[in-house]
Amino acid sequence: MNTAIRTFLREKSDVGAPSAHTLLMNHKILIIDDDQALCRLLKKCLETEGIAADLAHNGKDGLQQALRESYQLIVLDIMLPEMDGFQVLEELRRESAVPVLMLTAKNNKQDKVAGLLGGADDYLTKPFDVEEFTARVFSLIRRYTTLNATANESESPLTFPGITIDIDARTVTVGGESITLLAKEFDILCCLARNAGKILTKKQIYETVWQEAYAYDDSNIMAHISRLRKKIEPDPNHPTLIQTVKGIGYRFQGGEAG
C-alpha cells in the first residue's frame, strides 16, 4: 500500500465510524482513455486499494457513461477517438461538477491551461508514475466527497457586499443570483474569502486547496482564478473582488465579512 493510501486511511481512522476501508469501497471512478492496457493497469491498482473503476475507450461512450452513472471522479485523456477530451469536458460541465483529472501525452502548457479553463480540476502528463496517479485520485476524492473529515462541521456563511458564500451548502450568490462554481473554484474562493484583505501567495493557495506540496506551476492556479473571475466579477477584465498582487499572489477585497 503506497504512502498516499496509508495517509488517507490513517486520517479516516481518526474520524470514528464507519471504517475507512468501508467508505473507500463505496467510491467509484470512470477512466476514459483509448489506451486499453493503461486502463487495465490503473483499474487494477485502484481496485487493489479499494476504489472501483469503470472504463471507456472513446469520448462518446465515456461521456454517455459519465452522465448515466454516479462517479466521484472522472479521469479523462485528451487524445480520444470520436470526441476528444476537451469536447467531452465541455459537454460534461453542462450537466455535472464531478471532479475531472485530465491526462495528456503532451507536456504542452497550452493544453493544460485549456483543460483547466474548461473545467478540469487537475492534470497529469504521460508517462506518469502510478503512485502519483493514485495520490492525485485520492486527493481529489478526499477533497470533494463526504469522506472529508471536516464535511460535517458547520460553518457560518461568509457575507460581503454583493456576494454571499455558503460554506456548508457550497453555494455562492452574487447580486442575489446563484452562481455555479466547480469544486476547485469554490475552494479557491473560500480560501481567499476566509482571509479577506490579506495577501495570499500562490504557494499558500495551492497547498490549502490541493492539499499537496506546491509544484511551482502557476498556470494551474491562474487558470482557475481566471475562470472564477468570469463568474463572480462584474468586470472580469478589471477585477475588484479577487485582486492580483504582482509577484506575490492574490487578495480577496470584499470588505469585512458579515
- Domains identified in the chain and CATH numbers: 3-144 (3.40.50.2300), 158-252 (1.10.10.10)
* In the chain, % of residues over pLDDT 90: 53
Residue 104's pLDDT is: 87
Closest CA to 190 of 175, 171, 177, 176: 171
The answer to whether 242 touches 197, Cβ cutoff 8 Å, is no
Q: Are strands 158-160 and 122-125 parallel, antiparallel or unpaired?
A: unpaired
Residues in CB range of 221: below 8 A, 6 or more apart: 188, 202, 205, 206
Q: Are 188 and 209 in contact (CB under 8 A)?
A: yes
Over 80: is that where the pLDDT of 11 sits? Answer: no
Provide the pLDDT for residue 23. 44
- Please list, residue by residue across 163-172, b when 16 or more beta carbons sit within 10 angstroms of its beta carbon and e when fewer do: bbbebeeeeb
Give the pLDDT mean for 77-82: 94
Q: Is the pLDDT of residue 216 over 60?
A: yes
- Mean pLDDT of all residues in 45-52: 89
If pLDDT is split at 50, 70 and 90, which confidence band does 111 have? confident
pLDDT of 18 reads 39
Least confident of 61-65, 77-81, 152-156: 152-156
Looking at per-residue pLDDT, the higher value among 149 and 49 belongs to: 49
Indicate if the pLDDT at residue 14 is higher than 60: no
Average pLDDT over residues 219-247: 93
Q: Are strands 163-166 and 28-32 parallel, antiparallel or unpaired?
A: unpaired
- Give the per-residue pLDDT at 145: 64
> Which range in 8-17, 106-115, 140-149 is most confidently predicted, on average pLDDT?
106-115
pLDDT of 129 strictly over 50:
yes
Angle, helices 36-48 vs 130-144, to 10°: value is 60
Give alpha helix (H) positions in 127-243.
130-144, 183-193, 202-209, 218-232
Please give the Cα distance from 45 to 21 (Å, whole number).
Answer: 15
Q: Estimate to the nearest angstrom the gap between the alpha carbon of 60 and the chain centroid.
A: 23
Secondary structure (3-state) at 140: helix
State the residue for C-alpha cell 463572480: 232
Least confident of 14-23, 28-37, 51-60, 74-83: 14-23
